[in-house]
Amino acid sequence: MKQSDLLNIAKTYGDPVYVYDADKITSQYKRLTKAFGAVRHLKLNYAAKALSNISILRRMNSLGSGLDTVSIQEVQLGLMAGFRPESIIFTPNGVSLEEIEEAAQLGVRINIDNLSILEQFGSKHPDIPVCIRINPHVMAGGNSNISVGHIDSKFGISIHQIPHLLRIVELTKMNINGIHMHTGSDILDIDVFLYASEILFETAKNFKNLDFIDFGSGFKVPYKEGDIETNIEELGKKLSERFNAFCKAYGKELTLAFEPGKFLVSEAGYFLAKVNVVKQTTSTVFASVDSGFNHLIRPMLYGASHTIINISNPEGRERYYSVVGYICETDTFASNRRINEIAEGDILCFKNAGAYCFTMASNYNSRFRPPEVLWHKGEAILIRERENFDDLIRNQIDVKDLFTEKEAVKMK
């Protein structure tokens, strides 16, 4: 997308606003499928939690993607977006047996990550195929907040609990059709990922009727110029060879599955916000925008670094700014960042705003959530309207009759 296109979108739909480039989503999807082209059966299940707008889900469905979901609501969104139930896998964490049963009744595939629910579900529904999520005890990336395969993680069934797991499967006579792992986000070293994959292959040998092995995702994308990223092409070559060899030894052609989220939509997203005020202190120049962690929390929650450019003054000389929000909390997007000279009213563009950005937005400080726009074939299409005050109070119940002026007087 051109910066002029983004400026026109901000002018047309106001700011702040999220923008997603459909062509970038497509190219990332094709890049991933091409990298694993040597595998006979490949299935990408888009991780809905990364960006769950129904129009984005429809886009993924049109590309041939399946859907990875973590809540019954995401399952329902997927069905509404046109996904067939068998193309949806339900991979929750810590949910009730009742929610898993509800998903199973809708016909989606089930993935269970703890022994308690596995035993309960298997005892009640032995004929419903189940995938099992394994914790390989492998640390991916360098951030414990986004690495979920390490030994202290709440996700998955520990590889040390395999004997217990097998006993449950034997006693319940349940059907295990898949094995799954997810080591976490921002995988830097593919050798670490391949090491975890070997653990998954060893686990898979315990089950004779598998249909697929799901290797999760967590592929790192570049967040700034010169940033490192997962070498998808090298990983595709090495893992494909190993997977094909495993299938031959297993005696059955299995499906190699992934659940990419960030890899598919992160670089496709842009967040546009207007500068309300430029504030000079004794040591810092603040550029305060009409947004905050109510719209984009990743920098504050995970320490994520989003490239920020001034699309209103792209040729201006660079100065150092700390970009902050309007929330009555510390909501710093960037500290002492080199950005083209900023004036009040300029539009700043935050890159890599496609994954885990709008989906983590809130109404904190009673602020409205922004609109979402899809850039498709050179046209800006509104796919979510900006919230208004009616949206903010829609489900609130005003108990004004309970509190009277006389009671207030008595309290004094």
> Measured between alpha carbons, how far is 18 from 77 in angstroms, rounded to an integer?
20
Query: Residue 408: its pLDDT value, please?
Result: 59
Percentage, residues of the chain above pLDDT 70: 93
Where do runs of H (alpha helix) occur along 81-174?
Answer: 97-105, 115-124, 162-172
Query: Residue 185: its pLDDT value, please?
Result: 56
Q: How confident is the model at residue 384 (pLDDT cuts 50, 70, 90)?
A: very high
Let me know: does 368 contact 311? Beta carbons within 8 Å: no
DSSP label at residue 187: B
Match domain 269-393 to its CATH number in 2.40.37.10, 3.90.226.10, 3.40.50.300, 3.20.19.10: 2.40.37.10
Q: How confident is the model at residue 410 (pLDDT cuts 50, 70, 90)?
A: low
What are the CA-CA distances from residue 122 to residues 19, 108, 135, 304, 365 (Å)?
44, 16, 20, 40, 45
Let me know: does 353 contact 272? Beta carbons within 8 Å: no
For the residues 46-57, what does the mean pLDDT come to?
Answer: 98
Let me know: does 79 contact 66? Beta carbons within 8 Å: no
Global confidence as pTM: 0.93
Query: Residue 155: its pLDDT value, please?
Result: 85
219-276 pLDDT per residue, tens: 888 887 778 888 999 999 999 999 999 999 999 999 999 999 999 999 999 999 999 9
For the residues 331-346, what does the mean pLDDT come to?
Answer: 97
Return the beta strands (E) in 9-166 as ranges. 17-21, 42-47, 66-69, 88-90, 109-112, 130-135, 157-158
188-230 pLDDT per residue, tens: 678 888 988 999 999 999 999 999 999 998 888 888 777 888 8
Let me know: does 176 contact 209? Beta carbons within 8 Å: yes
Query: Residue 406: its pLDDT value, please?
Result: 64
387-406 pLDDT per residue, tens: 999 999 999 999 988 887 66
> Measured between alpha carbons, how far is 283 from 306 in angstroms, rounded to an integer?
23
Packing angle, helices 190-204 and 232-250, rounded to 10: 20
For the residues 12-40, what does the mean pLDDT come to?
Answer: 97
> Measured between alpha carbons, how far is 13 from 19 in angstroms, rounded to an integer?
11
Where do runs of H (alpha helix) occur along 39-154?
Answer: 54-63, 72-80, 97-105, 115-124
Let me know: does 132 contact 176? Beta carbons within 8 Å: yes
Is pLDDT above 80 for 146? no
* Least confident piece of the model among 219-233, 278-292, 364-378: 219-233
- The residues spanned by each domain of the chain are 36-260, 269-393
Is pLDDT above 60 for 108? yes
Known catalytic residues are 328
For the residues 379-394, what does the mean pLDDT come to?
Answer: 97
DSSP label at residue 365: G
Contacts of 373 (CB under 8 A, 6+ apart): 9, 13, 17, 18, 19, 20, 380, 381, 382, 383
User: To the nearest whole number, what is the mean pLDDT of the chain?
Assistant: 93
Is pLDDT above 50 for 298? yes
Is pLDDT above 60 for 147? no
For the residues 115-134, what does the mean pLDDT come to?
Answer: 97
Query: Residue 373: its pLDDT value, please?
Result: 98
The correct answer on CATH 3.50.50.60 for the domain covering 36-260 is no
Is pLDDT above 70 for 74? yes
Query: Residue 121: its pLDDT value, please?
Result: 98
Region of 280 please: left (phi>0), alpha (psi -120 to 50) or beta: beta
Is pLDDT above 80 for 411? no
